[in-house]
Structure 1
């Protein structure tokens, strides 16, 4: 695998994201695009009221530029742009980026309504889901039309299963679930950024093992962009990514997994996202059926906060758990 485009993706994504912070954060403050802290969160989060949000724009610009420049360099050298044999590869990369950007746009609209229009809840849950399912459907349709018509799901070390007609509804649900799970993980300083960095590194190693250069470039840019954002987002955060950033990150993770042809890896590589989302589901079911709560507060990172864990400790422990999930995924791919 040509390592130069991958290195270039890392450098561009990190540099552009980190440097943009010097301009974007003061700009967001000037516009008074500050985060509104809802009463449903921990009381001490009120101290973060007014911290600039929608900072995900920083890494969106950094990652997209890094991926496009690096891949165009590689593709032009290898003749991949004009070679029909690479049509599906090109479509998966471009469609994956467009999907992530579409999710980022949904998040941006939601943030804009919250911050500018002063409607704390932003888009309704129904509106979000409609837009999210349409985005996922458009992505799946694009790669289907490009030639990826397989309904087989590969389970490393286990085997494969043809889901037939049910493949597309299941993939729609998986995509929307993961995107929203990443969004739920964005609750304490640096958490979503850190665990996504770990997931991106895991996907980068898997892409290298399998020789998928497009997925390698995408995952490298994702990892480097997260590091660039952590410069500003680590506790105490100077900026929040907002739904603009978290939904985009979810879309990027999905795009990488599908580029690898292994969407099932989103489960171990994104173990923290799964736990975060399930904690909310279980909390709601328990409260509505029994009137009792399983956790002190959900998503589960707030449960640990209420138990006395610092935000830095939560980020560290959750990132370690994510790392274990990635290790399991890497081992499964290596030995399959």
Structure 2
């Protein structure tokens, strides 16, 4: 069965649902009001990421019934996605204590990893290495960090949506050229769910994603990457390379704040992209720069890893070094003046 027709339909549903959610947020005063820790200056509705959640989770069982993804992968996406989105939704509407959020995050990660079959052996410097239980432990931490860093990086208009689109479309291109066509459908439909929302979120944003959407995107991308590793170990490196902008900025910022003794659970706006948006006075140049870096720097390296046989560990070092330089240039993790 040809599912190409699903792509514009899913994007249209996401577009419409985001419009409905915007009306709901305005009617119920679910508004993100600017404060000293905000990167925006105008009160803006939030919670629009729920449209991404609903659209993609509706598509997952259809993909499984059509045989385009394994049911075990579908259960990983559905169970972890629902849990993270529900936690984020509750936090958007009130406040969930950090310890309960973290418990939910780890539970969702363990659920996903169970249905994915654990963490696959990886390819390092020419050797296939099975990390065993350490690999499974690493994968749980990786999923929890990825969903949280995605929440941290969702701080200016359009950046989280554009990153998700660039990463997934880039990996779809790699899958197609490398002969892994069966892996294309899930990230491609995910792109359509994000695209409908992005119409309303592109700078200047008319609605924000909210924790429900950002956490959901983070864990979904993590599941995609671990799932791909079972097909080819090199594909995991390609995902890490494509996610480099968010991984480097969030991790560099967190490490610098920890070393300084900051309370890492407190809200801040000291990521490189936030300093950059204040430097340029607008969100759009920074969001478009993220797209540019993904398309013209990270994607070619990820291509080389899969199509030219470049070592993944070496390729990720090459990919990340300029990103670290940019993080330093824009004072990631520095004290705000």
TM > 0.5: yes
8 Å CA contact 1:33, 1:53 repeated in 2: yes
**Cα distance in 1 between the residues matched to 2:139 and 2:45:** 34
Q: Counterpart of 1:119?
A: none
Which residue of 2 is the match for residue 273 of structure 1? 246
Looking at structure 1, the residues matched to 279 and 228 of structure 2 have their Cα atoms a distance apart, in angstroms, of 39
| Distance apart, 1:213 and its partner CA | 5.0
2:315 aligned residue = none
1:19 aligns with 16
* Residue aligning to 1:116: none
1:40 aligned residue (26, 37, 42): 37
Q: 2 CA distance for matches of 1:52 and 1:265?
A: 35
Q: Aligned equivalents of 1:232 and 1:17: distance in 2?
A: 10
Deviates more, 1:201-210 or 1:160-169: 201-210
Cα 1:33–1:58 shift into 2, 3 Å = same
Instruction: Compute the displacement of 1:133 (Å).
Output: 0.9
Equivalent in 218, 230, 249 of residue 250 of structure 1: 218
Matches within 5 A, 1:1-336: 4-5=2-3, 7-42=4-39, 45=40, 47-49=41-43, 51-72=44-65, 74-75=66-67, 89-113=70-94, 122-144=95-117, 151-155=120-124, 158-212=126-180, 215-261=183-229, 262-288=235-261, 297-323=269-295, 324-336=297-309
Deviation at 1:297, TM superposition (A): 4.7
Contact 2:204 2:284 in 1 (8 A): no
Contact 1:12/1:65 (8 A) holds in 2? no
CA distance in 2, matches of 1:150, 1:304: 36
Query: Which structure 2 residue ranges, 5 or more long, are not aligned?
Result: 230-234, 263-267, 310-337
In structure 1, what is the Cα distance between the partners aligned to 2:63 and 2:50? 20
* CA offset digits 1:71-122 (Å, max 9, x no partner): 43x32xxxx8xxxxx8xx2211332232222211221121121xxxxxxxx3
**Secondary structure class of the residue paired with 1:154:** strand
Q: Given the two structures, how large is their TM-score scaled by the length of structure 1?
A: 0.80
Q: Is this contact kept in 2: 1:13–1:65, CA < 8 A?
A: no
Q: Secondary structure at the match of 2:123?
A: strand
- 1:192-222 deviations in Å (ceiling 9; x for gaps): 0011100010221233345545531111012
Work out the CA distance in 1 between the residues paired with 2:238 and 2:6: 23
* Aligned-residue RMSD, C-alpha: 2.4
Q: Are residues 38 and 265 of structure 1, via their aligned partners in 2, closer, same or farther at CA, if it must alter by over 3 Å? A: farther
The structure-2 alpha-carbon separation of the partners of 1:331 and 1:12, relative to structure 1 and needing over 3 Å to count, comes to: farther
Equivalent position SS for 1:140: helix
User: What secondary structure is seen at the aligned counterpart in 1 of 2:184?
Assistant: helix
Q: Which runs of 5+ in 1 are unaligned?
A: 81-85, 114-121, 290-295
Structure 1 pair 128/326, CA: closer, same or farther in 2 (3 Å)? farther
Secondary structure of the 2:32 match is coil
Corresponding pairs, count = 298
SS at match of 1:238: coil
